[in-house]
Homo-oligomer: A and B are copies of this chain.
Amino acid sequence: MINPPADFLRHRAQRVRRSALALGRRSNGQRIAALEAMAAALERHGGAIVAANTVDQEAAVREGLAAPLLARLKLNGAKLAGCIQGLRQVATLPDPVGHRQLHRELAAGLELERVTVPVGVLGVVFESRPDAVIQIAALAVRSGNGAILKGGREALNTCQAIVTALQEGLAGSAVDPNSLDLLTSREETMALLRLDDLVDLIVPRGSNAFVRTIQDNTRIPVLGHADGVCHLYVDQLVNIDMAVAVALDAKTQYPAACNAIETLLVHRHVARRFLPPAVAAFTAAGVTLRGDEQARALGVPEAATPEDWGHEYLDLILAVRVVEDLEAALEHIRRHGSRHTDVICTDDEAAAARFLGTVDSAGVFHNCSSRFADGFRYGLGAEVGISTQTMPPRGPVGLEGLVTYRYRLRGHGHTVAPFACGEQRFSHRNLLEA
């Protein structure tokens, strides 16, 4: 009798977990060496990986995959070299493991410490892009975690060639190659979501709807890498040229990104001065503007409907609304925002402070583009994704988001009973860092 797929997957996940727990005990140097071995193996197998990608691309063309997806699927020698360079950069990032966050004497001879440790096993489910496999594998091994990866069906050959190379590289290192595994079917993905005793964190990389489907089908914590409805509010006291330049960058520098703005809010006292040059600049950049009545009176060509507020276009479209004042802008963002990143442009420090202290988003910016909301730009080195959840890790998530902590308590036969009856008392004395 053949085991059902779920049992087979459980067996594989157990193998990853066992390897991951060993990986979590490897030293910083051993994990860095493992990343170098992974990079070298990718270089050795570059030809096979690019060839596998060609097979995937040909099949995708035959099946009529849309052009943007085809572009994301493509992995030629140059792009692969960039990925390998990125992997080596992850090796240079500070070790997130083994930081002592707390060191406290609870009572004489009884010492508590809290130390960062790897999460364990990551379940990473992503769309098309095969380069994500390399990035995620690098972040997982660097942070001492195992990873079960599931890429898009259309990238299957590429993903398999990459994971084979990565495992071969790990085989020559102190890290067990079974720390990484690749799933190939949607059925396996659904079964993965049920392994809450073996998988510690699910990282979905895809659309908002994709993330919600995963959240609805698992008890495992999900790092919510969702889309964003970002706002830019232009306050009454503002340098018009600066505000136009920041708004333009925030919309057009890469409109398909989750940190591009979708709605422009303009204080009514500045609308008459701001909107005409802004409309000209946006129109020249090919942006379609949809405004409320007051915005249309000042040159915005199309009319916005209620559905435009809070809508994520991910395209060269921008909703524009003239608001009564700062408070009305805050209320609009509270109602329609997605708590990703929101921007105020103003020369009024009090207005900026009110905005930065009130807007309940992972990123709140003053006089700069929302497009800075990014792990690389924040200086985190690399990112797993951007989380719009409230609980940490929040915003751009780097290596630090892939570790948890553990309490260690060392005593000399200490029991609770004498503390419970008042015979002994806790000292709770924080100890200096070594």
Name A residues whose Cβ lies closer than 8 Å to a Cβ of B.
21, 24-25, 104, 106, 110, 112, 119-120, 200-201, 212, 215-216, 219, 221, 239, 242, 245-246, 248-250, 253, 334, 352, 356-358, 360-369, 371-373, 377-379, 389-392, 394-395, 404-417, 419-420, 426, 428
B416 touches A364 (CB 8 A): no
The contact of A253 among B25, B406, B420, by CB within 8 Å, is B420
A69 to B391, CA, bound (A): 33
> Contact: B367 with A200, CB < 8 Å?
no
Which residues on the B side are within 8 Å of A367 (C-beta)?
A: 410-414
- B426, A379: Cβ atoms under 8 Å? yes
Q: Which of B106, B356, B372 contacts A110 (CB 8 A)?
A: B372
Q: With contacts A106-B377, A106-B378, A366-B409 known, what are 18 further pairs, Cβ within 8 A? A: A25-B357, A110-B368, A119-B390, A201-B390, A239-B413, A253-B415, A253-B417, A362-B407, A363-B406, A364-B409, A371-B415, A372-B409, A372-B411, A372-B414, A372-B416, A390-B404, A391-B404, A392-B404
The chain B residue with its CB closest to the CB of A249 is B415
CA–CA, A389 and B428, complex, Å: 25
Contact status A395-B407, CB under 8 Å: yes
Tell me the minimal C-beta distance from A414 to chain B in angstroms. Answer: 4
Write out the residue numbers on chain B whose beta carbons fall within 8 Å of the beta carbon of A358: 21, 25
Nearest 6 CB-CB pairings of A with B:
A368-B411, A249-B415, A379-B428, A242-B413, A371-B416, A368-B414
With A and B bound together, what is the CA distance between A165 and B58 in angstroms? 70
Q: Is the CB of A407 within 8 A of B363?
A: yes
A431-B433 Cα distance, complex, nearest whole Å = 21
A253 contacts across to B, CB distance below 8 A? 415-417, 420
20 A-B residue pairs with Cβ-Cβ distance under 8 Å, sorted by A, are A104-B378, A110-B372, A212-B219, A221-B389, A245-B415, A248-B415, A249-B417, A253-B415, A253-B417, A366-B408, A366-B411, A367-B410, A367-B413, A368-B409, A368-B411, A371-B416, A372-B411, A373-B407, A377-B419, A392-B405
- State the Cβ distance, A214 to closest chain B Cβ, in Å: 10
Contacts of A394 in B (CB 8 A): 404-406
Q: Which residues of B contact A357 (CB under 8 A)?
A: 25
A200 to chain B, nearest CB (A): 4
A390 touches B200 (CB 8 A): yes
Q: What residues of chain B lie closer than 8 Å to A249, measured between beta carbons?
A: 415-417
Partner of A408, one of B219, B246, B364: B364
Which of A369, A395, A407 has the largest number of chain B CB atoms within 10 A?
A: A407
Distance A201 CA – B371 CA, assembled complex (angstroms): 28
User: Measured between alpha carbons, how far is A221 from B415 in the docked complex, in Å?
Assistant: 34
Measured in the bound complex, the distance between the Cα atoms of B394 and A104 in whole Å is 17
CB-CB under 8 A from A395, the residues of chain B are 406-407
Q: How far is the CB of A413 from chain B (nearest CB, A)?
A: 4
CB pair A368–B413 under 8 Å, yes or no, is yes
Q: How far is the CA of A410 from the CA of B245 in the complex (A)?
A: 16
A221 close to B414 (CB less than 8 A): no
Docked pose: A117 CA to B428 CA in angstroms: 26
Bound Cα distance A95, B221 (Å): 27
Q: Are B221 and A391 in contact (CB under 8 A)?
A: yes
Q: A135–B261 Cα gap in the complex (Å)?
A: 42
CA distance A363 to B114 in the complex (A): 9
B200-A391 in contact (CB<8A): yes
| Residue pair B410, A368 in contact (C-beta under 8 Å) | yes
| Interfacial chain B residues near A215, Cβ < 8 Å | 219
The answer to whether B360 and A21 touch across the interface, beta carbons within 8 angstroms, is yes
B212 touches A369 (CB 8 A): no
Once A253-B415, A407-B362 are accepted as A-B contacts, the answer to whether A426 and B25 lie under 8 Å apart by CB is no
Q: How far is the CB of A15 from the nearest CB of chain B, in Å? A: 13
Question: B201 and A413: CB pair below 8 A?
Answer: no
